[in-house]
């Protein structure tokens, strides 16, 4: 019997992605899976039903989920959908248990085996499954384009019959996957680029992309590839150096976000008030409240002559490629436990052990279990 895989229709606001694309559906079928989804689930990603040759289309979510062995989604499913799942069903999606405590408890109580895509460990072997990174790369690319289109000048140097136009300056704050992609894109568009991060090991990466690194002398390396919390003294030291670069920039792109937590404030109101007239800030950390004190998540605001955009769910704005990359991340994770047409969960596998959120009526990560069960 084939393994029944159900792909959910994404219902959350701002979400245009889908967890399955035709090429991945074909590969799953070869693994011994039968794939089902609701009609129209891929339309927001420019994928009509006719594009899926290896998929059957259910008439309702009840029918879709009634006997599914594996359920795939981008965003966390609603509580109503989770109640439709049979105990032992395997779910793959982003969850963010710090924000979705009740949902995480429900997954535990329903005995769902949930692999939270944001928990894929950042190790070399798991790079092909790292959905956070694949989506962040698209967000960084698009952030540079948004900055260029909101700026009332051009990015590259241009020589005309009446004189030369100097290139724009772009500062990227936070040099993870999104930040480095933003630097690379802004550079390709012709801007003079600078990169800043509290982790000094990113200096070489920024310089390899042709950017100047803003060195503040503060080392804030933390666990899991993220920055640790800064002390008040460190924040003051950083501000003294970074303010000058913020206020010289035409475009500032901020990317400092930790999944499921509040975003650190990198740009104060005072720093914004001293920026060049017509400058633009693109804040990619809006889901966590934003990196700029003036940011309004989901909105573009004008503070004096400074434009501050804090878009939500930027990867979804590039839904076609975002869906493709996400579906491939999911496929690579599925291939770890679909063996010879059967589901075989090997908890000795580091990737599976660190990605699983709930299994057999337990919340598996110790820190999350402690936080949610107290």
What angle separates helix 319-334 from helix 131-150, to the nearest 10 degrees? 170
Sheet strands (E) in 27-89: 33-38, 55-58, 70-72
d(CA 22, CA 9): 15
Residue whose structure tokens are 């009332």: 152
Distance CA 325, CA 141 (A): 14
> CA 210 to CA 194: how far, in whole Å?
9
How many CB atoms lie under 10 A from the CB of residue 80?
Answer: 9
In sequence order, the 6+-apart residues with CB closer than 8 A to the CB of 69 are: 3, 4, 5, 89, 90, 343
Q: Are 345 and 113 in contact, with CB atoms under 8 Å apart?
A: yes
Largest CA distance in the chain: 73
- Using the structure block, give the residue that is written with the tokens 């990359």: 325
Question: How many other β-carbons are positioned within 10 Å of the β-carbon of residue 88?
Answer: 13
Give the separation between CA 70 and CA 67, rounded to whole angstroms.
9
Distance CA 212, CA 215 (A): 9
Catalytic machinery residues? 122, 127, 130, 133, 226
The answer to whether the beta carbons of residues 225 and 122 sit under 8 Å apart is: yes
DSSP three-state, residue 35: strand
Helix axes 101-109 and 366-373, enclosed angle (nearest 10): 100
d(CA 50, CA 30) in angstroms, rounded, equals 20
């Amino acid at each position: 019997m084939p393994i029944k895989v159900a792909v959910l229709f994404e219902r959350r606001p701002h979400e245009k992605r889908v967890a399955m694309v035709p090429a991945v559906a074909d590969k799953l079928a070869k693994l011994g899976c039968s794939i089902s989804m609701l009609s129209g689930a891929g339309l927001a990603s420019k994928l009509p039903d006719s594009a899926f040759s290896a998929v059957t289309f259910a008439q309702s979510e009840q029918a879709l989920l009634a006997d599914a062995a594996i359920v795939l989604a981008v965003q966390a499913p609603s509580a109503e959908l989770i109640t439709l799942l049979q105990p032992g069903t395997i779910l793959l999606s982003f969850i963010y248990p710090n924000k979705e405590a009740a949902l995480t408890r429900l997954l535990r109580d329903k005995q769902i085996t949930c692999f939270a895509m944001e928990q894929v460990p950042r190790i070399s072997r798991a790079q092909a499954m790292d959905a956070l990174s694949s989506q962040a790369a698209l967000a960084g690319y698009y952030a540079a384009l948004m900055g260029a289109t909101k700026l009332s000048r051009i990015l590259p140097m241009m020589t005309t019959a009446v004189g030369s136009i100097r290139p724009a300056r772009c500062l990227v704050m936070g040099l993870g996957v999104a930040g480095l992609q933003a630097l690379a894109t802004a550079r390709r568009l012709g801007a003079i680029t600078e990169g800043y991060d509290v982790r000094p090991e990113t200096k070489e990466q920024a310089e390899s992309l042709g950017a100047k690194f803003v060195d503040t002398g503060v080392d804030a390396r933390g666990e899991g590839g993220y920055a640790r919390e800064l002390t008040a003294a460190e924040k003051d030291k950083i501000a003294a150096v970074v303010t000058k670069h913020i206020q010289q920039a035409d475009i500032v792109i901020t990317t400092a976000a930790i999944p499921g937590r509040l975003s650190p404030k990198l740009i104060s109101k005072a720093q914004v008030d001293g920026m060049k007239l017509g400058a633009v800030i693109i804040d990619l950390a809006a889901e966590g409240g934003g990196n700029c004190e003036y940011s309004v998540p989901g909105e573009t605001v004008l503070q004096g002559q400074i434009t501050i955009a804090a878009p939500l769910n930027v990867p979804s704005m590039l839904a076609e490629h975002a869906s493709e990359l996400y579906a491939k991340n999911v496929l690579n994770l599925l291939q770890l436990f679909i063996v010879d047409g059967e589901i075989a969960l090997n908890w000795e596998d580091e990737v599976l052990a660190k990605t699983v959120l709930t299994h057999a009526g337990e919340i598996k990560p110790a820190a999350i279990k402690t936080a949610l069960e107290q």
